Amino acid sequence: MAAVVGDPRSTPALGRAGGFSDLLPGAAGRRRDLIEAFVGAFESWGYGLLGTPLVEPLDTVAAGIGAARQSQLFRFMDADGALLTLVGERTVSVARVVATQLQREQLPLRLCYAGPVLRNAPLLDGRRREAIQAGCELIGHAGLTADAECIALAAAALERGGVRGVQIDVGHADFIPGVLESAGLDADAQRIVLGALARRDLVAVEAALERTDVRDAERRLLLAFPTLRGGREILDTAAIGLGGDRPRGAIEQLMQLWELIEEHGVTQGVHLDLGAVRDWDYYTGPTFEVFSLDSGFPLGSGGRYDSLLERFGFPARATGFVLHVDRCNDVLTRRDGEPQRPAALRVAWSSGQRATALSLAKRLRERGVAAVCDLDLTDPRATDTPVQACSDGVHWIARRARGQGSIDAAVDALTGPAG
């Protein structure tokens, strides 16, 4: 039976919608700190913070994402009958803003964002329907230096947020499709093989290839794709006997990209993954994903998407990435334990000293110390209070030493002298 509003006999259901989470004090604060660390890193690299709405017209979002992701959107109709959606990612919103409001700005544009996204996905394997994403878009530059910058910036932001020891897998969206194309497979055969590769079903891959005249070099690569991971040396191995300009071009780009990443000093945590299975209809060049041993899901992903802005009437090359803030927060929790609720300094007061206590609490907050003033008169027998306003001055306990004096002396003792 539905609860009746205002009926004291009715008790509403207190459950939580599946795929949505509450964050308690401590955990919520750490996620906020993580967002600030990521955005701080982005801004230190010259990326301007952009704010976009959580709600977009359905047609706008549909223009930028594929059918599979459209099926995971929360959709609704507003009071005027317009079809709207809650955004499932924010790159399309950034593309809309660039195409409609920043089209006259000098390129390249460096933009960043942080905010919630929602996806109407099945509740499988602990996946969230609501999450926080923070990311960057570098728009208007076709060179690999832009791709290298995004990879290096993602690594720098994670380091700044304390999410260390990650692995970044770099691939290329043109490699596997290019191998299939150069092998002479028709469109239907390519679709079957790409689907089997996406499922990592090697039996289906081999069966599909048996019905084709694919050359030995391409067959070897396609059947070995799960093992095509490692350092710079795998590029030389993959190039042996490889035909076709498209896959060879992808290999050459990855060779150049590796050198650029080396110049950024982040190759220690980077692996090349020629078998990376990403959204081939969206990405057009180098791609990457960020992994941690402490998470079963990628902590971030990115890549080049040179065709997206053209769909909004603003043809421009672009690359970017997103970091999944909640997953990164999960990693910190697994490594460091549940964060403790930050403790505020308690300011107590004796009879007639409430105004002094309130003034003291204000001065402490101005020095950056969280302070809470007792709402009621303190029991005079309570002698272990960190700081207490009394008729004979302020009493405090700081660094295991007791003191007594003025408000200024108490603030200096509790926070250190003002600089």
State the burial class of residue 126 (Cβ atoms within 10 Å of its Cβ: 0-12, 13-18, 19+): exposed
Task: Report how far Cα 241 is from the mean position of its chain's Cα atoms.
Answer: 39
- Beta strand 229-230 pairing with 286-291: unpaired
The neighbour count for residue 27, using CB atoms within 10 Å, is 19
Q: Say what the pLDDT of residue 3 is.
A: 46
pTM (whole model) above 0.75: yes
Q: Say what the pLDDT of residue 13 is.
A: 64
Tracing tokens 């499709």 back to the chain, one arrives at 177
Residue 404 identity = Q
Q: Say what the pLDDT of residue 2 is.
A: 47
pLDDT in tens, the chain (419 residues): 344 455 555 566 678 888 898 999 999 999 999 999 999 999 999 999 999 999 999 999 999 887 778 888 999 999 999 999 999 999 999 999 999 999 999 999 999 999 999 999 888 766 789 999 999 999 999 999 999 999 999 999 999 999 999 999 999 999 888 888 877 777 787 788 777 777 777 787 777 777 776 776 677 777 776 677 889 998 988 887 777 888 899 999 999 999 999 999 998 899 999 877 667 778 999 999 999 988 889 999 999 999 999 999 999 999 999 999 999 999 999 999 888 887 888 899 888 899 999 999 999 999 999 999 999 987 756 656 788 888 778 887 876 678 888 898 888 888 877 65
Q: Domain residues of the chain, as ranges? A: 20-164+294-342, 174-277, 345-415
CA distances from 176 to 37, 181, 216, 419 (A): 36, 9, 15, 60
Cα angle at 96 between 94 and 98, to 5 degrees? 70
Q: Say what the pLDDT of residue 323 is.
A: 98
Q: Is the distance from CB of 56 to CB of 92 less than 8 angstroms?
A: yes
Q: Say what the pLDDT of residue 382 is.
A: 62
Cα angle at 41 between 36 and 46, to 5 degrees? 120
> What is the distance between the alpha carbons of residues 254 and 234, in angstroms, rounded to a whole number?
11
- What pLDDT, in 10s, does the model give residues 338-371? 888 878 888 998 888 999 999 999 999 999 999 9
- Domain 20-164+294-342 belongs in CATH node 3.30.930.10: yes
Tokens of 307: 């065709």
Taking phi first (over 0 means left), then psi (-120 to 50 degrees means alpha), and beta for anything else, what does residue 78 get? Answer: beta
Cα angle at 333 between 327 and 337, to 5 degrees? 170
How is domain 345-415 classified at the CATH fold level? Rossmann fold (3.40.50)
Q: Say what the pLDDT of residue 140 is.
A: 97
